[in-house]
Amino acid sequence: MKKEKRVSVTFYLKPVSRNKDNPRRSVYITIAFKGQVAKTSTGIFCEDQKQWSRGMFVGKGVDEQNRELLGIRYEIESYDSSMFRDAEQIKNVWNGAEHTNYPNTILEALEYGFEEKGKATKSGTMKMRRTAINNFEKFKIEKNYPNFGVVKGHPQQINELIITSYYDWLLKNGTMKSTANGYVNGLKTLYSKYYKKHYSVIDHLLNNPFNDIIQKDKKTLVVAHALSRTVDWKWVEEIEKVKILDPNKEELRLVTLLLAYSGLSFIDLAKSNVLEITETLDGPIIVGQRVKTGKPYIIPVTSDLKRIINKLNGSIPWKSFVDSEGNYNIPEREFYANRFRQFLYWLTKEIGCDVKLSAHRFRHAYGMRAVNHYRLPIDIVARMLGDTEQTIRENYCDLVTTTVMSMYNEAMSLFDQKKNPSKGGKRDAIGNK
């Protein structure tokens, strides 16, 4: 283990004036740390140089002065050396400078970022980031690590190897990879907030040590993984056929179909007005903002969706736990989410589904059906789901070969009709008339 650098304190005498005949001397302190020294006055004086030897007072009547010097030495040498960059900073602190003006350890930096981000971040996200900080502190304690510094030259500065070790520790302790990724990325966000506020006032501040810890998969693998999370629409049709006598289970079956026919996320069901239908000239729609991102969505109310909403009497079978600002009650969310997960576990077995059903699988199914079955443009599906086009392409939708060819032929036929209405006609699979 690397030996911790210590602070060394010694005393010496310095003339109080240029008058050589003046015997009075001022006691100065020398602070040595990391190969550097800093000197300053102690405010103590020696009236007779014969009472001074080897850095301390000697003789009668000097006990009080020695106690003061020993108190100074004890105070400075008891400082946590890991908190300082150099001897000059130690001197400034002893002289009364506020050492705590700026946080300069990793936990202080993360706490600062947490407080700042908490002013404009949803409670669910902040709860996850709080858990990430708490886990990092547990990791530090278990490994007997210090509160690492975030300034270059610090004897125990934070680095990527330590963060990687934290990530591995999370996985070894049973944390799911996706959750561990979320923790590290959350801490990266908190440190970035701290860095932006302090890099101009703290010299040699370390760059974000949480960067590049999570290795991104190749884009094709990301897309493939995302698309594997859908559920074939035939299982939605099977859920429609299920007959359930238990009224509580029947309500949850209807909620399952609601997710399939609307593409809503489970957390959005917690809004009091989530099933409020707006009538437009072109037909009924459901409009709102996603709890997760705040982005607006516009969902056309199909006959199937309207049928399910009517069966639910226009409301979700649990009370709202999301306020108008998008904040939600964590315990209530977990209660209802666990209840729904247990139902879907039962439903998976009941219909013999070959994949484990989850609320989010139906959002994927809705997106893929919108593109491949109804052949809606990606930008329209993005507006319906309240996401970006890139997110839809990479996470929810996939244009299968038959869909591409069918859309191509329809577009070419439309082009032909516009170009020469009298000779319009459909094209075959390769675009020939």
Domain ranges for the chain: 8-94, 106-215, 227-399
Interval 73-89 mean pLDDT:
80
Fold for domain 106-215? DNA polymerase; domain 1 (1.10.150)
Residue identified by tokens 């995302």 is 226
CA dihedral 122, 125, 130, 133 (to 10 degrees): -130
Q: Which residues neighbour 122 within 8 Å (Cβ) at sequence distance 6 or greater?
A: 291, 292, 326, 327, 328
Per-residue pLDDT for 407 more than 80? no
For the record, the structure tokens of 65 come out as 């002065």
Contacts of range 53-56, beta carbons closer than 8 Å, 24 or more positions apart: 55/10, 55/11, 55/12, 56/11
Compute, in degrees rounded to 10, the torsion defined by CA atoms 103, 109, 110, 112: 50
User: Quick one: CATH architecture of 227-399?
Assistant: Orthogonal Bundle (1.10)
In whole angstroms, give the CA distance from residue 316 to residue 271: 9
Q: How many CB atoms lie within 10 A of CB 332?
A: 15
Q: Mean per-residue pLDDT for 93-119? A: 78
CA pair distance 182, 188, nearest whole angstrom: 10
Radius of gyration of the chain (CA): 34
What pLDDT score does 399 carry?
A: 54
pLDDT for the residue 397: 58
Q: What is the C-alpha to C-alpha distance for residues 193 and 112, in angstroms, rounded to an integer?
A: 8
Q: Examine the pLDDT at 156 and tell me if it is beyond 80.
A: no
Average pLDDT over all residues of the chain: 84
Dist CA 399 CA 289 (whole Å): 27
**In sequence order, which residues have a C-beta less than 8 Å from that of residue 9 and are 6 or more positions away?**
29, 30, 31, 32, 72, 73, 76, 77
- Of 23-27, 54-58, 144-148, 228-232, where does mean pLDDT reach its minimum? 228-232
What dihedral do alpha carbons 196, 200, 202, 206 form, nearest 10°?
50
pLDDT number for residue 406:
67
Which H or E element spans position 322? none
Q: What is the pLDDT of residue 325?
A: 76
Greater confidence (331 vs 302) lies with: 302
Q: How far is CA 276 from CA 146, 230, 299, 301, in A?
A: 54, 27, 11, 11
Question: What pLDDT does 148 receive?
Answer: 85
Terminal CA-CA length for the chain: 78
